[in-house]
Chains A and B, each alone.
Chain A
Amino acid sequence: EVQLVESGGGLVQAGRSLRLSCAASGFSFDDYAMHWVRQVPGKGLEWVSSISWHSGYIGYADSVKGRFTISRDNAKKSLYLQMNSLRPEDTALYYCAKDIGSSGRGGSWFDPWGQGTLVTVSS
């Protein structure tokens, strides 16, 4: 069974940093692109970042570009999101999601999703 378990969320002050992790199991992690998607509680979904299977392709939403860095360690079957210069508007539940392919580029979809880790940024 494919499982994705996020961790690393918490309460942090504006301007500080946080690193999220996503531990994957049940599939060949290094064969698939991965994504981060966030959701403000009670609001809609927002794509954050994507990374291809070999980290050759990386994409970011404009709202986080220059502040967030996605990375992966295929040997550890883990996905990461380094979040710097955090803002109150970054407060959200952060999900990691598996791609159905390896590139992470357009046309793909997300399946499955983890349960999410909550990030709260105080001002």
Chain B
Amino acid sequence: QSVLTQPPSVSGAPGQRVTISCTGSSSNIGAGYDVHWYQQLPGAAPKLLISGDSNRPSGIPDRFSGSKSGASASLAITGLQAEDEADFYCQSYDSSLSGYVFGTGTKVTVL
């Protein structure tokens, strides 16, 4: 079961900015656990996009940025490109479940 809630889909025209929310609770994001984001292109394995709330691994364009406030986090994509069409997942840790949790996933469509 997913304990982190994301919108099922977001869309935008090329060049636009879109944001994806990730809402948790006091036992995960709200407890201070870091949030990480993954991009899953069609037919591929998930790939790390953002770690530790807002850090981009080497090779990830600065069009992608992450933030966190309270029990929620957000991923922003600026200058949307056709190649950004993918599913995006947030991930954290839940102290009540004593395990890792993923968001419900968001499909990004470039119009």
Contacts and interface: CB of A to CB of B under 8 A. Distances in A.
5 contacts: A50-B100, A106-B93, A109-B52, A109-B91, A111-B57
Contacts of B93: 105-108
B46 A95 contact: yes
Given A111-B51, A113-B46, A61 B99 contact: yes
Given A106-B93, A111-B51, A59 B104 contact: no
A115 B40 CA distance: 11
Nearest to A113: B45
A47 B103 CA distance: 11
A99 B98 CA distance: 16
Interface of A: 35, 37, 44-47, 50, 59-62, 95, 100, 105-116
Contact of A60 (B46, B57, B99, B105): B99
Given A44-B89, A107-B33, A111-B51, A116 B100 contact: no
Interface in B59-111: 89, 91, 93, 95, 97-105
Contacts of A108: 93, 100
Nearest to B105: A44
Closest 5 CB pairs of A and B: A106-B93, A47-B100, A109-B36, A111-B48, A113-B45
A111 B51 CA distance: 10
